[in-house]
Structures are given as structure tokens and as C-alpha cells.
A and B are shown apart, each in its own frame.
Chain A
Amino acid sequence: MRRFYLPALLLLLLGLAQGQTGTTYITPELQRLIQAGGQNYASVLLRQDPAQALCSTHRNRLPAEVLGPFIEEQRKNIKYPADGKLMGDWKQGEAIFNTLARGNCFSCHVGSPLNIGGNVGPSLEKYGQRGTSEAVQRYTYEVIYNTWAYFPCTVMYRFGVGGLLKPEEIAHVVAYLLDPNSDFNTKPALKR
């Protein structure tokens, strides 16, 4: 019994120091393995956030008792554009949606008239049919900013949380999807 006491205490203290008790996935042994992969590799993998740790632990299927607090936590970290406008300029959104190194949205979703869409995510063809009500804008914005607030542990990037897109840029993508004059809604989607 005593043999396990000290390591356990150390682990607990380590967890407390990182402010993520109960949500660490990376054990000291796994940490050593990752460090053996080189500095660059380790610098990204060892910076796992508590939500990523939960998704890793539960292999992307969160149990019921974790789900509520998880979603609440994810909702809290959504930020909005300074001017409060959730729909920006659809032309700028078009560039983000259709660029591999930026939004890369087309790789997984059908709907773009510029690129053949993938089928990892649901089709967004003529997404603008939903109208531009405040509720639709907000939902669309929030799913892009932090998809885990709606679809916990899904593969889609949390664009706002990960710092991949600024709030204003997300608003541009929302406009590309919702603006009735956007090419996304007026031109036919390219399909395989």
C-alpha cells in the first residue's frame, strides 16, 4: 500500500498545480514517450487542454455524467465580435471556407460552389434556406467558434477556441453560409 502512496500524492499535486484535476490523460510514462518524439512534437502534444483530455479518455464518447459540465464549460469560452455583428462580409468568408490552410471547411462539408466537398461532416448545401434570424446566426456562429458546445468531441476544429479564426473572421464565414446573396446560396454546390 505504502509503495503507491507517494507516487499517487505526487500525481495529485501535479494535477492540482496544472489546475486540471481529474482530467489528465497524459501519464508520466506517456509524457516520456511523447518527449522521445522530439521537442516540436512534444511541445504541441503535451499542451493538452482539459477538454481534449476528457475526449481522449472517453474515446470521443462522453458518459452522461460528464456531458453536462463539459458542454457548460465549452459554452463559457465562446467570444463574440467586438461590434456584436455575427454576420460579416460573405466574400471574405468565401476565401476562408475554401482555403485549406484557413477554414478548410470544404474538405469535410458539401456546399461550396468552388470546391468538391467531403462527407465527414453533414452537407451544408443551400444552408441559407434557414433564414437570417438572430437564433440561426447565433447557432451558426457558436458551432464554428466552438463546435464542442453542441457536438462534444466531434472532429471539427474549435476555430475560436483553437485560435484558428478571429471572431470577425468567423462572422465572415457565417455570412458566406447565410447571406441570401452569397455564392454559397445562389450557385450550385460542387459534388463528387
Chain B
Amino acid sequence: MGRFWRLAGVILLALVGLLALAQEEVDPFEEAQKQKQQLLELSGGILPTDLIAAQGEELFKAKRGPKNASLEACDFGRGPGRLEGVVGRLPRYFFDTRKVEDLDSRIRSCMINLQGLRPDQIRRNEVVAIAFYIASLSNGQPMTVRPLMPQEKRLYELGEKLFYLRAGPRDMGCASCHVTYVGRRAGVLPYSDILGDKRVASHWPAFRYSNDQAWTMADRIRACYSNLSMPAPDFYSEPIIALTLFMNAKAYGGKMDLPGFIR
């Protein structure tokens, strides 16, 4: 009997060793968390995302544009001026613009309608900074996107179709990697499990520490296309909103980690 237990112990140890080996493939979420901690210690508690969000807050509250108005009256779905948790409720249908809008396009709509700016006057880096500010007020909240309005349902279905669409000289489509090859690598990072892991859609907008970029989901989607030498859909365009709606609805119930901090 004693020998049996000793043998069992050895097997157990070997299994633990194997597990440790298998974990050499670091979980990207843990890796990013470690980097975040290191950066926090180095900087005395300030992250690059805090600076971007602070810049966004300034832009959000400043009176700007021909109408000399701030964005404080902008309705992100919970009524004018209510910003807590709104990122987890977007994209959604808005009656004033009669469109399904995501975070980026809603900010843009308010800059046009409240501040009177022309579309060509809207600077991308300002929209991103404002998105980071709003995101910082949704941290820890749940993702609750659920397409209920007919316009939302329609766009969700189109987003799903677009997700599985393959085209171009490289036969590419989102699902070819993010469904079929989840966890495998072609390059540095493993393909994220967009439809299975709710954390993936719940950390946008995010700061990418490896190359110092502040990205919203729109930037992420556009880079996916560009990396495969496909032309990217225009900023604020419907394909981006449709894909975001599909992915966010799939992440229903996920806890938002905002602004995201990723490799």
C-alpha cells in the first residue's frame, strides 16, 4: 500500500510538471496584467490610459464647435449626461439619428449635432480620447448588448454574416482564424476566441502597450483587414458597427475591463 501511494505521488508530481510546461504558453490576459502592474509601479500609479482618458474628459467637457457646446448633453443610451456603464450597452439604436451606433459613431454624431462640427472637422484622435474617457466610466460594468429593436436585429444578423464572409486574394474572413484557429499563433499573439471568451470584446477601447497605441474596436477591426492586405472599412461605417454589434452581443454578461490594457 505504501509503495502505491509513493507511486501515485510520483505520477502526480509528473503531471504537475507537465502542466507547468504546458503553461509556458503564457495566457495573454495574465501577461498583460503583469505588464500593467510593472508599469503602475514604475510610474507611481499612473497608466497611459489614465492620461488619454483625462485628455478625453477635457475634450468632452469643453465648449467647442460653431454651437459652442460641450458633449455633456450627449445621450449614449441612458439619457443625456449619463455615462456610467454605457459602453456595455453599445452598439444600439438611437431615435434621434435613426441609426444603430457604436461608441465611436455616437461620439461623432454628438460632435456633429450638439457642437455643429462638420464631419471633416472631426479628428480621429479626439474621438479616441473621448472614447477612453467614457470607457473609464464603464469599467467593471457588465456587457449587456442585446439586439431587440428591428434595426438592431437586422444589423446583428448582417454582422454575423460578415464575420463568416470570406473574400479577397487571400480568401480571408474573421471566422477563418477567430473560430477555427483559436489559441494558435501566426505571429506573436494567439488568435483570440471572440465568440467563446467574453473578455475579448469586453476590453475595448484598449491601450496596446507593445506599440503605444490607443485603439477602439473600430481600429482593431480595421487592422485585422489591413494585416491580411484587404482594404479596411471606413471609420464610423456600418460594417464596423455591424461586426461590433455581433461581437458585443456574443459577449453578453461579460465584465468590462476598461480601458483595456493589452499587448
- Whether, in the assembled complex, A92 has its beta carbon less than 8 Å from a beta carbon of chain B, the answer is no
Q: Smallest distance from the beta carbon of A33 to chain B beta carbons, Å?
A: 5
8 Å CB contact of A47 from B167, B185, B240: B167
A residues within 8 A CB of B242? 33
A residues within 8 A CB of B179? 59-60
Contact (A158, B238) CB under 8 Å given A55-B166, A120-B181: no
Q: When the two chains form their complex, are residues B230 and A38 in contact, meaning their CB atoms are under 8 A apart?
A: no
Contact (A56, B166) CB under 8 Å given A33-B239, A37-B239, A119-B185: yes
- Whether, in the assembled complex, A63 has its beta carbon less than 8 Å from a beta carbon of chain B, the answer is no
Residue of B nearest to A27 (CB): B161
Contact (A157, B161) CB under 8 Å given A33-B239, A44-B231, A60-B176: no
Q: CA separation between A58 and B225, bound complex, in Å?
A: 21
Within 8 A of B (CB), among A29-57: 29-30, 33-34, 36-38, 40-41, 43-48, 52, 55-56
Q: CA separation between A26 and B162, bound complex, in Å?
A: 9
Residue of A nearest to B161 (CB): A30
Contact (A107, B187) CB under 8 Å given A55-B171, A157-B170: yes
Q: When the two chains form their complex, are residues A120 and B185 in contact, meaning their CB atoms are under 8 A apart?
A: yes
Q: When the two chains form their complex, are residues B237 and A118 in contact, meaning their CB atoms are under 8 A apart?
A: no
Q: When the two chains form their complex, are residues B169 and A164 in contact, meaning their CB atoms are under 8 A apart?
A: yes
Q: Can you list, as one digit per residue, whether each of B50-91 has a CB less than 8 Å from chain A (1) or not (0)?
A: 000000000000000000000000000000000000000000
Q: CA separation between A43 and B167, bound complex, in Å?
A: 10
Q: When the two chains form their complex, are residues A44 and B180 in contact, meaning their CB atoms are under 8 A apart?
A: no
- Whether, in the assembled complex, B175 has its beta carbon less than 8 Å from a beta carbon of chain A, the answer is yes
- Whether, in the assembled complex, B116 has its beta carbon less than 8 Å from a beta carbon of chain A, the answer is no
Q: CA separation between A153 and B176, bound complex, in Å?
A: 9
Can you list 26 A-B contacts with CB-CB less than 8 angstroms, sorted by A residue number? A27-B161, A29-B154, A33-B238, A36-B239, A37-B239, A38-B231, A38-B234, A41-B230, A41-B233, A41-B234, A44-B167, A44-B231, A45-B168, A56-B164, A60-B179, A101-B229, A108-B186, A118-B185, A120-B177, A120-B181, A120-B184, A120-B185, A155-B171, A155-B177, A162-B170, A163-B169
9 further A-B pairs in the complex, CB-CB below 8 A; given A36-B238, A118-B185: A36-B237, A44-B167, A44-B168, A46-B167, A56-B173, A59-B164, A60-B180, A120-B177, A120-B185
Which B residues are within 8 Å of any A CB, using their own CB? 154-155, 158, 161-162, 164-171, 173, 175-177, 179-181, 184-187, 191, 225, 229-234, 237-240, 242
